[in-house]
């Protein structure tokens, strides 16, 4: 069944426009409470630093209370922290108010099960079915209560540190940490400092509207500039809610999720701790797949989205997977993508091998990828348009066996994402823009 409200990562949209309105979010809390929380159930709620988070937090709290469910409010916390703390607090449900890497005027709601995992499609469909019903309030003597927990950041900091090998430290490293003015601003710098690093923090002054604003993993130039200006050993950039991470070496070279996944996979293989193969997505660079093959490591692709990476990991009983956007799942430590934990695994490989970050990827040759987003109209589907399909076929024929074309719909915005991959960057750029031009012409003609 097609989902009505949920996208690939919860429910997301522009604040003040349906479904990101107080009335809908309050009903969403009621519906989710009835589906996922038992009588006298408990829910924890975290959020990123968007101004609209205050409004949506209050609406969710009211909805859960109306369903007879009590809430514990944690304030600004990274998405993966909510995953961890849902399990640690033995809550029935974890909720995050965030639009991740989107601008401040967007917001969204994500749910975690009591196991700390994203909800499966069937549960989201059950919530949607409940939303379409007339919901009744719990009796007055059975309404939920609300509490605030102030020590959540410290608990999560200690958890992150526990994923870094105890006999290693970061004493000899100068690290720039870019928190995107988002949910990691008050936890990530402390994690690396307490492990011994000399930390230079940027993007740690959120004001409600500057989240992801020319900082963080979606705007890595700020990190690159800071690494070079401070002669740092490494730079780490998170997105607004802290589940993505990108890194920069001491020369200012940017390493995406594919490169970081390769580093972690190779290090674990050398330590005999890999436990199976690696899961990527349809967007994973062909160069990573070939490099893993050279190491004798199995590789499988899932649909785009960390929830689908997780499904493929569980189906194969594997432990490591991720996306080139920087979502990396280390199932031996976490049950969702965690930017801080993933960065620590890369730093662990650096310290264990006593080498620079660049040395860990010297034998990884990623193929050039051209990525373009095309905003579309609701009544036009490029994936079904004859002209677009024919142009994609022509490009694929010209690329042959050394390239790929991928068109997919965004799960959070009215966009078509074009990806062309090949051995020659000029050719991939040209062919991606050929497809882009055809989509624009056909879209304007609708």
Nearest CA-CA partner of 111 in 128, 124, 125: 124
Domain assignment present for residue 166? The answer is no
| Token pair for 345 | 């695994």
- Cα 416 to chain centroid distance, Å, stands at 19
pLDDT, tens digit (0-9, with 9 covering 90-100), for 300-354: 999 988 889 999 999 999 999 999 999 999 999 999 999 999 999 999 999 999 9
pTM of the complete model: 0.91
What pLDDT, on the 0 to 100 scale, is given for residue 446? 56
20 in the same domain as 68: yes
In a domain, 179, yes or no: yes
Tell me if the bond preceding 19 is cis, omega within 30° of 0. yes
pLDDT score of 14? 96
Same-domain pairing of 95 and 216: no
Q: CB–CB of 67/144 below 8 Å?
A: yes
The verdict on whether 100 is a catalytic residue reads yes
- The answer to whether residue 46 is domain-embedded is yes
Range of the domain at 420: 369-444
Look over the chain and give the mean of its residue pLDDT values, rounded to a whole number: 94
The answer to whether the beta carbons of residues 428 and 421 sit under 8 Å apart is yes
For residue 284, give Cα distances in angstroms to 259, 305, 359: 10, 11, 21
* Count of helices and strands (H, E) across the chain: 13, 18
Tens of pLDDT along 43-72? 999 999 999 999 999 999 999 999 999 999
pLDDT (tens digit per residue) in 236-253: 999 999 999 999 999 999
pLDDT of 383 over the 90 cut = no
Q: Which of 52, 100, 113, 342 is catalytic?
A: 100
pLDDT (mean) for 295-302: 97
Nearest to 286 by CA among 330, 324, 245, 313: 324
CATH of the domain at 117: 3.40.120.10
> What's the rounded Cα separation, in Å, for the pair 275 and 272?
8
Q: Answer yes or no: do 115 and 72 share one domain.
A: yes
pLDDT tens for each residue of 407-441: 988 766 778 999 999 999 999 999 999 999 999 98
pLDDT > 70 fraction of the chain, expressed in percent and rounded:
98
For residues 62 and 220, the answer to whether their CB atoms sit within 8 Å is: no
Helix, strand, or coil (residue 229):
helix
pLDDT tens profile 176-203: 999 999 999 999 999 999 999 999 999 9
Q: 3-state class of 141 per DSSP?
A: helix
The pLDDT > 90 percentage for the chain reads: 87
Same domain, 100 and 110: yes
Mean pLDDT, to the nearest integer, of 118-143? Answer: 92
Do residues 204 and 384 touch, judged by C-beta distance below 8 A? no
Q: Is residue 52 one of the residues assigned to a domain?
A: yes
User: b/e map of 181-199 (b: 16 or more CB within 10 Å)?
Assistant: bbbbbbbbbbbbbbbebbb
**What digits encode the pLDDT tens for the residues 73-126?**
999 999 999 999 999 999 999 999 999 999 999 999 999 999 999 888 889 999
How distant, in Å, are the alpha carbons of 265, 266, 268, 279 from that of 272?
10, 10, 6, 18
Q: Which residue has the tokens 């003040």?
A: 16
């Amino acid at each position: 069944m097609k989902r009505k409200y949920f996208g690939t990562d919860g429910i997301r949209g522009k604040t003040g426009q349906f479904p990101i309105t107080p009335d809908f979010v309050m009903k969403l809390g009621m519906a989710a409470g009835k589906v996922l929380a038992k009588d006298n159930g408990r829910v924890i709620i975290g959020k990123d630093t968007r101004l609209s988070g205050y409004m949506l937090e209050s609406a969710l709290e009211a909805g859960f209370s109306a369903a007879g469910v009590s809430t514990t409010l944690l304030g600004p916390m990274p998405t993966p922290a909510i995953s961890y703390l849902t399990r640690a607090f033995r809550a029935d449900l974890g909720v995050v108010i965030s639009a991740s890497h989107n601008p401040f005027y967007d917001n969204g709601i994500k749910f975690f099960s009591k196991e700390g995992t994203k909800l499966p499609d069937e549960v989201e469909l059950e919530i949607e079915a409940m939303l379409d019903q007339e919901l009744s309030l719990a009796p007055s003597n059975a309404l939920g209560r609300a509490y605030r927990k102030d020590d959540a950041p410290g608990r999560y900091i200690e958890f992150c540190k526990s994923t870094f090998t105890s006999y290693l430290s970061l004493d000899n490293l100068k690290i720039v940490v870019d928190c995107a003015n988002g949910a990691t601003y008050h936890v990530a710098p402390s994690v690396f400092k307490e492990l011994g690093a000399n930390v230079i923090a940027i993007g740690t002054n959120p004001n409600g509207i500057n989240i992801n604003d020319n900082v963080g993993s979606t705007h890595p130039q700020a990190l690159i500039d800071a690494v070079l200006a401070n002669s740092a050993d490494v730079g780490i950039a998170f997105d607004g809610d802290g589940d993505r991470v990108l890194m920069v070496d001491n020369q200012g070279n940017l390493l995406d999720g594919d490169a970081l996944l390769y580093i972690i996979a190779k290090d674990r293989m050398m330590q005999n701790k890999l436990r199976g193969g690696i899961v990527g997505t349809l967007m994973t660079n062909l160069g990573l797949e070939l490099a893993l093959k050279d190491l004798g490591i199995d590789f499988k692709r899932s649909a785009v989205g960390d929830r689908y990476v997780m499904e493929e990991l569980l189906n194969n009983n594997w432990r490591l997977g991720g996306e080139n956007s920087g979502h990396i799942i280390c199932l031996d430590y976490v049950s969702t993508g965690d930017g801080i934990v993933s960065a620590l695994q890369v730093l662990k490989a650096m310290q264990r091998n006593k080498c620079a970050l660049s040395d860990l990827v010297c034998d990884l040759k990623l193929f050039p990828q051209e990525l373009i987003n095309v905003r579309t109209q609701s009544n036009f589907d490029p994936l079904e348009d004859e002209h677009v399909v024919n142009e994609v076929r022509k490009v694929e024929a010209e690329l042959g066996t050394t390239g790929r074309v991928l068109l997919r719909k965004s799960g959070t915005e009215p966009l078509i994402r074009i990806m062309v991959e090949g051995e020659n960057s000029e050719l991939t750029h040209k062919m991606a823009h050929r497809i882009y031009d055809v989509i624009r012409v056909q879209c304007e003609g609708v």
